[in-house]
Each structure stands twice: as C-alpha cells, then as structure tokens.
Amino acid sequence: MAKIIPFKAVRPTRDKVSLLAARSYESYTAMQVESRLRDNPFSFLHIVNPGYKYQKEISGEERYGLVRNRYQEFKEDGIFMQDEKPSFYIYKIVNRDGRKFHGIVAAASVQDYEDDVIKKHEDTLEFREVIFKEYLKTVGFNAEAVLLTYPDNDKLGAIISEIMQTRPEYEFTTTYRDTHYLWNVDESALLEKIQKIYAEMPALYIADGHHRSASSYLLAKDLKVENPQHTGDEPYNYFMSFLIPESDLKIYEFNRLIKDLNGMTKEEFLIKLDEYFRIENRGMDYYKPSKLHHFSMYLDGEFYSLYLRKTKYQINNALDALDTHILYVTILKPLLGIEDLRNDQRIEYAHGKKDLAYVKTVVDSGTFAVGFGLVPVTTAELRQIADEGLKMPPKSTYIEPKLRSGVTVYEF
C-alpha cells in the first residue's frame, strides 16, 4: 500500500510565480545563469546561488547556510507564502510540442522507500546521497519534486480531469514555451478519496530523482535518531513528489559517445563486433534504430546498423533484455574497455533530444571516435526492472516532464 499525504506548500504569490520558477540549476549555462541573476531579482536561482549577492563563488556548508538565508529572505519579503491547509496540488504542463503531462504534487513516505513500496530502477552514488542529505539538513526545505509514476488509474484520472476543469491557481508560460498550471486541492473529503486510491496501489516507481529520494531517506534516519520524541508523523518522514500516470511519461534514450577504439583499428573493431551483431554499412544515411536490440553506430564518417544475434546472446531476466545493458556487456566493456560507466572519462552521454546529427557532429570533430544510438527504454521495461529488484546501467533514461523548482516547496 502506497502512502502519500497532503502538505502545506510554501509557494510564490500568483503575481511572482512566472518570475520565480526555474529549471534545475545544472540545466543552465553559466551565461544563462548570469543573465537571469542580473535581470530577475525574483528568480529561484538567487536562492540556490546565494554567492551572487557578494560576487563570489561559494560552496559546501557555507553555501548551504546562505541558501537557507536567501530562502528566508524571500519569505520575509512576501515573495513566498505558505498555504494554511494541507493540500494536494494538481500540476499540468503543456510543452512547446503540445504534449501534455499532469499529476499530483504530494508528500511520499520514506518508509515506503525503505520497504520497496517505492521501487527503484537505478543505482545511486553514495557520496552524492550524503552531500545532498547534508544540504537538505541545513536548508530545511525541498524545492525539487521526485518524479514518481504508477499504472494508469481511471478513478484517479477522473478526479484530476474534473479538477482541471476549474480555474487554476497558477497559469504561466516559460521562455521555453512550456505552459504550467497548478490547482490547489484542500477539501478534506477529496483529499481522503485521493489518498485511498493511492493506498490501493501496491507500488509506486521512481521515474526521476533516485538521488533526491535516497538523500531524503538518509536525512529521515538521521533526524529520527536525533529526535527522542520521534513519532513517524514529522515532515522529515516524507519527501515532495510529483506523481503521474505511466502514459504521461516521455522517455528518451541516452546515446553513448566513446573517445577511442581502445587501441583497435576500425577494421579490427568491426570484425570483433561481428561476433554479436549483424552489421550493415548505411553510409551517410542517418540510421536511427526503431526496434529493441537494434543499435545505430557512427564511425569514421559512416552510419552502421547493428542487429543483435539472438542465437549468440542469452536473456535470463529483465536486465539482460535491456539495450543499455546489452551494449555494455557486448561492446563497451569487452571491446572498448569501459567498465565503470559512471566515472570512466572515455565515455559521455547525449540524451535523445539531441538527435543523431549531434552524434555525427561530435564524432566528425574528432572529440569522439564512435557513437552509439539506442531506442528509448519503455515504461514496461522500467517497471519490470524495478519489480525484479534489478538496476539499470547509469544514463539509461532521460525522462520528462521536468518540473520547475520553487513552484511548490516542502519544509521539514
């Protein structure tokens, strides 16, 4: 049974939301960050980049304390307000391509995370978990929701659709031409109805935010030890999540870019590939795979299609069938010598929103020797990996939607 609860969000006033909402800090270039900090005093980037006020790069614990200070200043100045009643927040995004995403912002249980009711499909890096845990512990709030998903539910879909017929609390369009909507739901009977529907779900699945959820779990463990009056109902026992149906997820592939052929010539490499793949030279024709176990390769000015020889490769579980894993165990590790997919400096990743033209450009430039294209992971594959307790290789999925930071803030 999945447990989610409403919470009293801290959020921007209606007149400031479009100015305050920001993408994840890492998604901006240095020039973009500079222009937003210079020209927009209400941007959430001022909170997460507090050194700008002093024209100084600040990191570590000193930065965490200043983030907390900037956040408090935004509250003191009336840029942020807090809802009086615990609420669920219906959130809808219509992107520039017309694709729609909708779901519920709520607080999810760290106990569910520990008990594997909230299921994971990716490994995390311990040092990143610890760093973000310490950050959360100092600042006392979470402004980026973990993206959770679940199989489509007609009852929940009907409730959300009915609410979205009313006037939203927020409606704003970003410079990326995505339009965001938010509805505040605080009627007690409706809150209970929504909670009951989630309680009937055997599991929720992390789509995006494995490190954020892991850090929230570690924080809850620390604060539980430090609190002799711990009851389990404290805000630190939950973390902010955006829960959306599986059909709303948009999953892109992550293409692989390798800097060299591990000492092999092009001809030697192709001969070794032939053991596991049927290879066809496509010349200058852009080849983008459309089926599982089909791959594209760009090498020395030409595209190739690689079809897995199924008689050669054995599939025993959901991970064995995953294309990112197949590429790793048949090419990246044995042929190109890349064992550590997270830390090896010879491999980089380009998500599928950067098309094969990007792969071709960076290989032609000499920055990389070879690029591989894959088909996106499906929601069914994601769910099966999680259900079997397995973990995908890093950078297996690039998932939308991406919420804006600061639209709802969860305090603990």
Helices (H), 140-256: 154-163, 188-199, 210-226
Cβ 51 vs Cβ 45: under 8 Å: no
Count the residues in the chain. Answer: 412
Largest distance between two CA atoms of the chain: 69
Strands 179-185, 170-173: pairing is antiparallel
Mean pLDDT of each 10-residue bin along the chain, 412 residues long: 97 97 87 93 95 84 94 97 98 93 98 97 85 96 96 97 97 92 98 98 96 96 96 97 96 95 97 97 94 97 97 95 97 96 90 88 97 96 95 91 94 96
**Cβ 146 vs Cβ 132: under 8 Å:** no
Cβ proximity of 47 and 53 under 8 Å? no
CB 185 within 8 A of CB 87: yes
Domain boundaries along the sequence of the chain: 4-246+400-411, 254-375
How far is Cα 3 from Cα 193, in angstroms, rounded to an integer?
Answer: 13
**Residue 237 tokens, joined:** 């026992």
**pTM of the predicted protein model:** 0.90
* Residue partners of 29: CB distance under 8 A and separation at least 6: none
* 152 in Cβ contact with 244 (< 8 Å): no
d(CA 242, CA 142): 12
DSSP codes, 289-342: --STTEEEEEETTEEEEEEE-TTTS---STTTT-HHHHHIIIIITTTT----TT
Measured between alpha carbons, how far is 376 from 94 in angstroms, rounded to an integer? 21
